[in-house]
């Protein structure tokens, strides 16, 4: 039985779901000859560590208790009541991780949303450990950091950074390793903006659709976090860098769905929803009509060609994969020189958000590293 030590950073929705899935997959993974031994967990303020990380790990009852504590909104140190463990602040943990990496070959899993994890991930990778990321931030920092993360590309996996568990990264890597050249990747990589753009197409005003999406919990608490296109741009940058396109976030042309004067610095959320948003309706309506007269539909799309990334509203043919998109699905169309032509791209579509599917992507990534463990 292969014993793979796992250390988890971030135990919000995705991290908690991951721990639960690890527990519920015990028999399945044992049949595959694998035991995932969780030895440490941290959140944004504190950590817990198993007393003997080299030989043992947390038992499943402890992990269940930990999930319950986090789901109750309590701090991690409350775990001390559930079993023996070491605890401390999350900043101490970062130092501790490199100490552990010198003695233990483990998988560091980043399910946080922090930009502070990059340094420690690079350090443990350098010491021979592996990393699995659901967190986009480490991959969208400087190119220098990106290069360090991919110095040993087999040790790092990050499927859930783009389209949650959808096999977009794995498929892109397969295309690249077969020597085919990707000419362009087109994607609708925001479930929120996908939903909004397919609903406005049916004649509803943009402002109403955004408000409904917010009520349904499809948007961030401040919908401008979605409407700015920044999240889509991060995903696009990851896909581009994977293909060897050397760009920084600042190089991306991002079309925000609201003007600067309605930004969070200039307008309160309440004011934006009540007064700002409705002022955008006419422009969107006009663009939809124009698209329709061209037999197209309007989509919020990222396009990564051979050199550039653009993230913006764009007309797409009604009968293309992007044009047919409904609801909150994500979709990518990949065009290559050899296998996937203009008329027959590779299309991958499905739900691109949610704790379940994001955690599933992380877990599949961890299992995919198994050959690097003895």
Q: Using the rule CB under 8 A, give the single segment among 67-75, 91-99, 172-180, 223-231 that binds a copy of itself.
A: 172-180
Look at residue 36 and give its three-state secondary structure. strand
Contact pick of 12, 25, 92, 267 for a copy of itself (by CB under 8 A):
25
Q: What string of DSSP letters covers 123-186?
A: HHHHTT-EEEE--SGGGSS-HHHHHHHTSSGGGEE-GGGSSTTSTHHHHHHHHHHTT--EEEEE
The verdict on 28 binding a copy of itself (CB under 8 A) reads yes
Phi and psi (nearest 5°) for 32?
Answer: -90, 0
Between β-strands 182-188 and 329-336, what pairing exists: parallel, antiparallel or unpaired?
antiparallel
CB of 111 or CB of 120, closer to a copy of itself: 111
Q: Using the rule CB under 8 A, give the single segment among 8-16, 76-84, 159-167, 208-216 that binds a copy of itself.
A: 159-167
Residue 271 has a CB neighbour count (10 Å cut-off) of: 12
Nearest to 119 by CA among 144, 101, 138: 138
Using CB under 8 A, which residues numbered 183 to 202 contact a copy of itself?
A: none
CA atoms of 280 and 347, how far apart (whole Å): 32
User: Would you give the binding string for a copy of itself spanning residues 308-347, x where CB under 8 A is met?
Assistant: -------------x--x--xxx--------xxxx-xxxxx
Would you say 13 is a known binding-site residue?
yes
**Largest CA-CA distance found in the chain, in angstroms, rounded:** 67
Would you say 73 is a known binding-site residue?
no
H runs (alpha helix) in 182-312? 191-200, 206-215, 224-227, 230-242, 269-271, 281-293
How far is CA 271 from each of CA 124, 157, 261, 268, 279, rounded to the nearest angstrom?
A: 46, 41, 12, 5, 12
The answer to whether 118 and 110 are in contact (CB under 8 A) is no
Would you say 10 is a known binding-site residue?
yes
Is 235 catalytic? The answer is yes
CB of 169 or CB of 313, closer to a copy of itself: 169
Which of these is catalytic: 211, 235, 261, 295? 235
Contact pick of 10, 165, 187, 194 for a copy of itself (by CB under 8 A):
165
CA atoms of 160 and 171, how far apart (whole Å): 13
CB of 45 or CB of 71, closer to a copy of itself: 71
The verdict on 246 binding a copy of itself (CB under 8 A) reads no
User: Would you give the binding string for a copy of itself spanning residues 344-373, x where CB under 8 A is met?
Assistant: xxxxxxxx--x-xx-xxx-xx--xx-xxx-
**What single DSSP character describes residue 309?**
E
Q: Using the rule CB under 8 A, give the single segment among 67-75, 173-181, 217-225, 268-276 that binds a copy of itself.
A: 173-181
The position carrying tokens 């044009």 is 323
Q: How far is the CB of 154 from a copy of itself (least distance, A)?
A: 6
The verdict on 60 binding a copy of itself (CB under 8 A) reads no
Catalytic residues: 235
Residues flagged as binding site for NADPH: 136
Q: Which residues bind a copy of itself (CB under 8 A)?
A: 21, 24-25, 28-29, 32, 153-154, 159, 165-167, 170-171, 174-175, 177-180, 321, 324, 327-329, 338-341, 343-351, 354, 356-357, 359-361, 363-364, 367-368, 370-372
């Amino acid at each position: 039985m292969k014993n793979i030590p796992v250390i988890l950073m971030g135990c919000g929705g995705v991290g908690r779901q991951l721990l639960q899935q690890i527990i519920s997959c015990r028999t399945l993974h044992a049949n595959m000859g694998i035991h995932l031994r969780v030895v440490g967990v941290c959140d944004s303020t504190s950590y817990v560590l198993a007393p003997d990380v080299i030989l043992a790990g947390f038992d499943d009852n402890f992990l269940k208790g930990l999930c319950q504590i986090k789901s109750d909104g309590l701090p991690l140190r409350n775990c001390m009541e559930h079993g023996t463990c070491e605890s401390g602040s999350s900043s101490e943990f970062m130092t501790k991780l490199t100490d552990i990496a010198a003695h233990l070959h483990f998988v560091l899993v980043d399910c946080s949303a922090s930009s502070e994890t990059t340094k420690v991930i690079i350090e443990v990778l350098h010491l021979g450990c592996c990393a699995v990321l659901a967190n986009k931030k480490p991959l969208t920092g400087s190119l220098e950091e990106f290069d360090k993360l991919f110095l040993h590309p087999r040790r790092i996996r990050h499927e859930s950074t783009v389209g949650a568990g959808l096999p977009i990264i794995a498929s892109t890597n397969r295309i690249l390793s077969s020597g085919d050249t990707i000419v362009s990747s087109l994607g609708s990589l925001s479930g929120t903006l996908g939903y909004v753009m397919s609903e406005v197409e049916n004649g509803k005003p943009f402002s109403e659709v955004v408000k409904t999406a917010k009520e349904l919990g499809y948007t961030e608490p401040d919908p401008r976090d979605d409407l700015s296109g920044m999240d889509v741009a991060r995903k696009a940058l990851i896909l581009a860098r994977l293909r060897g396109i050397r760009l920084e976030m600042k190089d991306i042309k991002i079309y925000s769905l609201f003007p600067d004067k309605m930004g969070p610095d200039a307008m309160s959320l309440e004011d934006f929803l009540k007064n700002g948003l409705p002022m955008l309706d006419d422009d969107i309506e006009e663009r939809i009509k124009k698209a329709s007269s061209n037999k197209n539909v309007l989509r919020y799309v990222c396009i990564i060609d051979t050199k550039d990334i653009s993230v913006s509203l764009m007309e797409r043919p009604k009968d293309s994969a992007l044009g047919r998109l409904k609801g909150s699905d994500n979709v990518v169309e990949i065009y290559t020189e050899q296998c996937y032509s203009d008329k027959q791209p590779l299309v991958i579509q499905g739900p691109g958000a949610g704790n379940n599917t994001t955690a599933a992507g992380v877990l599949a990534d961890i299992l995919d590293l198994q050959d690097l463990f003895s």
